[in-house]
């Protein structure tokens, strides 16, 4: 809203100032979608806010398989993500817009045809632990797992303060321990990561990493 003060003066008369309000008719710029992720039945929606300085809320709408559109939620400034539920194989589309303090609405940007897919996971690995064998200059790793058939274990190690991992070994489903004798020369130590993989492609979650520091 644009506000301007005027003071009128006439011969022999003096008028009081008055305020003229000019309507704001300019729509704000549209927000932009950021990368989204799917977690089972939940989709994490993220966005970059509108660049306009007078935005009041960002509005999220949702369209179902039958094309029915509904208001999903209004988000205040600073709220730039939301976890939504997409059940089964039902497709959902989401639209996002910005609304300014004068009620002007930006263009709507869409994320279309999002479908949740349930991926069956293997049971989690338990009792993943590590022991440093100084005399043998080796690292002993052990774990527990309920399955043996049609699976294998994959072990990775990573140097501290590094994003790069290297394969330390792949073992049969009957294996429950491994002695790693290669990395003892690296004095900063290692972080170890272990998961189970089935022959049909299913995987477990990563076991909680164990750390070795020399």
Q: What is the pLDDT of residues 18-77, one digit of tens each?
A: 666 667 778 999 999 998 887 766 788 899 999 999 999 999 998 876 777 787 889 998
Whose CA is closest to 129, among 114, 144, 118, 119? 144
pLDDT single digits (tens) 125-162: 999 999 888 888 888 999 999 999 999 999 998 887 77
CA distance 197 to 172: 10
Whose CA is closest to 118, among 47, 3, 38, 2? 38
What phi and psi values does residue 210 have, to the nearest 5 degrees? -110, 150
pTM: 0.49
pLDDT for residue 85 is more than 90: no
Largest CA distance in the chain: 107
**CATH homologous superfamily, domain 32-115:** Immunoglobulins (2.60.40.10)
The residue-averaged pLDDT of 94-100 equals 94
Give percent above pLDDT 90 in the chain.
Answer: 42
Distances (CA, A) of 55 to 26, 78, 103, 152: 12, 11, 9, 53
The fold of the 126-212 domain, in CATH, is Immunoglobulin-like (2.60.40)
CA distance 179 to 175: 11
Whose CA is closest to 205, among 213, 189, 193? 193
Q: Mean pLDDT across the chain, nearest whole number?
A: 83
Start and end residues for every CATH 2.60.40.10 domain found in the chain:
32-115, 126-212
């Amino acid at each position: 809203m644009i506000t301007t003060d005027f003071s009128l003066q006439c011969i022999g008369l003096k008028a009081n100032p008055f305020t003229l309000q000019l309507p704001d008719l300019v729509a704000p710029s549209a927000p932009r979608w950021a990368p989204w992720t799917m977690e089972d039945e939940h989709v994490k929606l993220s966005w970059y806010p509108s660049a306009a300085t007078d935005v009041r809320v960002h509005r999220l709408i949702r369209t179902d398989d039958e094309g029915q559109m509904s208001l999903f939620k209004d988000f205040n400034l600073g709220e730039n993500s939301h976890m939504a539920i997409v059940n089964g194989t039902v497709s959902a589309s989401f639209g996002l817009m910005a609304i300014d303090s004068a009620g002007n609405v930006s263009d709507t940007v869409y994320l279309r045809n999002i479908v949740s897919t349930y991926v069956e996971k293997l049971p989690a690995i338990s009792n993943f632990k590590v022991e440093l064998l100084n005399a043998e200059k080796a690292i002993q790793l052990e774990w527990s797992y309920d399955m043996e058939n049609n699976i294998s274990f994959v072990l990775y190690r990573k140097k501290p303060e590094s994003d790069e991992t290297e394969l330390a070994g792949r073992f049969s489903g009957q294996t429950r321990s491994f002695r790693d004798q290669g990395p003892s020369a690296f004095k900063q130590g290692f972080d170890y990561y272990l998961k189970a993989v089935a022959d049909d492609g299913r995987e477990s979650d990563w076991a909680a990493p164990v750390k070795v520091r020399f």
